């Protein structure tokens, strides 16, 4: 048994359990609800870059858990792929990730093609859509996806969810990195390089609006590159986890809605976390949802009624118990 798993198992043994019946407090069906002592829990939340959306959401989660006496830390990372690896190596208890990265790990393809399928992955809930935003400036002359050919393009941190998206976007438009000069940069670095004239465009797949892109829009005329119809058709046929979406008019002073695609962000736990810990972490998250939503505009799309949307791995039993008690799962 892994060291952290042993610690959590011992924590679960000494934890206090609360049995709640239908005739008193708790859920109407009389199901058992379990509570674990906060002092027994330590939670590292794998987030993303500090200029992205994951980081402030993880910060809000940390504040909620700390207020309940749970020792918590937020780790800045390269996002989805790294976050999955941190969970599997017991270096994190919770992570925010994109659904496409989870599917690649679960089925062993893409960035995980040389690894065994990670069939132990489980989820807590779908959160909000990550929107593919290809940011450039009016001065670049880039108006369509095909205009990226020959340009210096930031595609996200290497093996991040953003970079996985970028590869699929080029594939969908019958292009590849061979057609550009790619650079592996975080959101903040990429926007700085656009401002300095070194990078022509950047993928900032995230919630809308993206803070780094908003910063660029404060000093430059920003253009959001639209995905072409043929590209969206290809994604729909080959990568159905992509959803048709848009960057609304006015987001970055753009005059019209910009056609693009999105992928659901997921909250997933370390697969070894005991049911009662995941139950408690899930309960605290959704009972303090207003604080989560206040952390970033993108988080306002998080809704307990849509926890199953985009969740492409089995739901952790601890989370499932909580959502069953709330009556929000399909078929209830």
pLDDT in tens, 251-272: 999 999 999 999 999 999 999 9
> Largest Cα–Cα distance of the chain, in whole Å?
68
Q: What is the pLDDT of residue 57?
A: 97
- Tens of pLDDT, residues 197-256: 999 999 998 888 888 999 999 999 999 999 999 999 999 998 888 889 999 999 999 999
**pLDDT reading at 13 higher than 60:** no
Please give the angle made by the CA atoms of 314, 317 and 319, to the nearest 5 degrees: 90
Q: What is the pLDDT of residue 96?
A: 97
Bigger pLDDT: 14 vs 318: 318
In angstroms, the CA 119 to CA 203 distance is 30
- Tens of pLDDT, residues 171-199: 999 999 999 999 999 889 999 999 999 99
Least Cα distance to 258 among 214, 221, 222, 227 occurs for 227
In angstroms, the CA 193 to CA 201 distance is 9
**pLDDT reading at 114 higher than 80:** yes
User: Is 195 exposed, middle or buried (CB count within 10 Å of its CB: 0-12, 13-18, 19+)?
Assistant: middle
Tokens representing 249? 């008019």
* pTM of the entire predicted model: 0.72
Q: Point out which residues pair with 201 in neighbouring strands.
A: 136, 153
In angstroms, the CA 156 to CA 162 distance is 5
Give me the domains of the chain, ranges plus CATH numbers.
Answer: 3-128+264-326 (3.40.190.10), 131-263 (3.40.190.10)
In angstroms, the CA 121 to CA 87 distance is 9
Q: What is the pLDDT of residue 51?
A: 79
**pLDDT reading at 5 higher than 60:** no
Above pLDDT 70, what percent of the chain? Answer: 88
In angstroms, the CA 284 to CA 186 distance is 30
Q: What is the pLDDT of residue 30?
A: 39
CA atoms within 13 A on the CB side of 77: 29
């Amino acid at each position: 048994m892994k060291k952290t798993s042993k610690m959590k198992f011992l924590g679960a043994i000494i934890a206090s359990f609360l049995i709640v019946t239908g005739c008193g407090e708790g859920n109407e069906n009389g199901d058992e609800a379990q509570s674990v002592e906060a002092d027994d829990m330590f939670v590292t939340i794998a987030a993303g870059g500090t200029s992205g959306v994951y980081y402030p959401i993880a910060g809000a989660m940390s504040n909620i858990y700390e207020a309940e006496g749970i020792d918590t830390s937020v780790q800045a990372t390269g996002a989805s792929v790294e976050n999955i690896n941190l969970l599997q190596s017991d270096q994190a208890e919770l992570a925010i990730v994109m659904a496409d990265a989870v599917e690649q790990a679960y089925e062993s393809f893409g960035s995980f093609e040389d690894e065994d399928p990670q069939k132990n992955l489980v989820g807590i809930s779908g959160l909000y859509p990550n929107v593919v935003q290809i940011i450039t400036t009016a001065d670049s002359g880039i108006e369509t996806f095909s205009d990226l050919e020959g340009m210096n393009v930031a595609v996200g941190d290497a093996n991040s969810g953003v970079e996985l998206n970028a590869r699929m976007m080029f594939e969908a438009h019958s292009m590849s990195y061979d057609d550009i000069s790619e650079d592996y940069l975080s959101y903040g670095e990429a926007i700085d390089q656009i401002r300095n004239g070194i990078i022509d465009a950047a993928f900032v797949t995230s919630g809308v609006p993206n803070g780094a892109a908003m910063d660029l829009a404060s000093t430059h005329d920003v253009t959001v590159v639209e995905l072409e119809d043929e590209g969206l058709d290809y994604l729909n046929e080959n990568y159905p986890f992509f959803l048709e979406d848009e960057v609304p008019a006015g987001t970055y002073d753009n005059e019209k809605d910009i056609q693009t695609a999105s992928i659901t962000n997921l909250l997933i736990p370390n697969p070894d976390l005991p049911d009662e810990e995941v139950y408690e972490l899930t309960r605290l998250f959704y009972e303090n949802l207003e604080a989560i939503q206040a952390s970033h505009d993108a988080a306002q799309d998080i809704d307990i009624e849509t926890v199953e949307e985009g969740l492409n791995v089995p739901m952790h039993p601890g989370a499932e118990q909580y959502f069953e008690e709330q009556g929000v799962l399909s078929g209830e």
